[in-house]
Amino acid sequence: MHILIVKLSSIGDVVHAMPAVAALRRAFPAARLTWAVERLAAPLLLGAPGLDDVVVLDTRRWRRQWRAWDTYRQVAASLAQLRAFPVDVALDFQGLMKSAAVAWYSRARRRIGFATEALREKPGRFAYTEQVAVDRREHVIQSNLRLAATLGAPLPETYEFWLPPLEAEQARIAGQLAAHGVAGAFALLNPGGGWVTKRWPPADFGRLADILWQRHGLASVVSYGPGEEPLAKAIRDATQRAPVASFPTTLREYLALAKRATVFVGGDTGPLHLAAAAGTPIVGLYGPTAAERNGPFSRHDQVVGLDLPCRADCHRRTCQQHICMTMSVALVAQAVEARLRGAEPGRFFS
């Protein structure tokens, strides 16, 4: 049997699909597993154990440069790879028009996606031969596992994440930490986020870095993505005593960095989910999104937020008030302390 996994992006979404794909591999050890993914997230899967093939698409670039001859060549190569081996079942974990189109183009006899009301782009339902109902209130990992369960994959007791080998990246990260004077334990702080509404103020991160240094002897390493370097600089400027380092990383280097971190602090964005998959202790800062559906998954991880009526089903990418990410530094520091001592799961809300 050949199973096509369609989960194109984003970084966090790809991470959240990994336990379902691992469950499929355990249920069907002899099956061929192929994963279709966007270029930006592909480094997470290339070389990962358990996959037989990875089909890399670059739909964003293709749309921008649709007149270029090289675009047509790349599209043809990717689509040919998609059909290189007959596909028996295509599972669309994305729920978008383009992901449904990939499942349809594979010519799979069975094309399975989520129920129409759970789809982000509902016309995609026309590409499916079967649909699976899920509870929108449960964690997205559980929803993905339910999709895999339609093929007979049992729901696992623990989540399994396939990560690529990181030996070279670990060596480079060790060199970067040494070059920036980080010799011992450190906290990994991530101020960025795809939505501005998911970001905690850099000045508060700076004050938190001082507290972590004073109370726990933790230096801070600030991670940032493209265009987010000013956020890292703002944290360094706001820090008065603690040693703070920051440097750019690739996706794989970030995984290697997260594996070394004592604790991660940041909002609901790709770096949080990558760190969680790497086994890093997490303190998640949640505003417009629900931790119940998108939160960290270790039973000891902590979530911080404000108890506001407008947070329910918010998901706003812009907001004139934007008060949901104004949780106090003291509250976040309390959550970090609880996570460091391995306390039971908590929700630090005020």
102-136 tens-digit pLDDT: 999 999 999 999 999 999 999 999 999 999 999 98
Plot region of 312 (φ>0 → left; ψ -120 to 50 → alpha; else → beta) = beta
- The stretch 47-64 carries a mean pLDDT of 91
Mean pLDDT of the chain: 93
- The stretch 76-93 carries a mean pLDDT of 94
Per-residue pLDDT at 345: 63
**Residue 256 confidence (pLDDT) above 80:** yes
Which among 279, 339, 255 has a CA at the least distance from the CA of 48? 255
Whole-angstrom Cα distance, residue 97 to residue 245?
Answer: 41
226's CB contacts (< 8 A; 6+ apart) are none
* CATH for 169-349 (3.40.630.90, 3.40.50.2000, 3.40.1190.10, 3.20.20.70): 3.40.50.2000
Quickly state the pLDDT bin for 194 (edges 50, 70, 90).
confident
The CB density around residue 343, as the number of other CB atoms within 10 Å, is: 12
The residue with tokens 């501005």 is: 196
Tell me whether the CATH fold assigned to 2-149 matches the one assigned to 169-349.
yes
Q: Dmax over Cα atoms in the chain, in whole Å?
A: 62
Q: Say if CB 221 and CB 236 are below 8 A apart.
A: no
Per-residue pLDDT at 37: 98
Per-residue pLDDT at 315: 81
Percent of the chain with pLDDT strictly greater than 70 = 99
The residue ranges of every structural domain in the chain are: 2-149, 169-349
Q: Say if CB 103 and CB 113 are below 8 A apart.
A: yes
Domain 2-149 classification at class level: alpha beta
The pTM for the full model equals: 0.93
Helix (H) or strand (E) holding 211: helix 202-216
- The stretch 61-65 carries a mean pLDDT of 84
290-325 tens-digit pLDDT: 898 999 988 899 999 998 888 777 888 888 778 889
**Residue 349 confidence (pLDDT) above 80:** no
Per-residue pLDDT at 90: 98
Helix (H) or strand (E) holding 26: helix 11-27
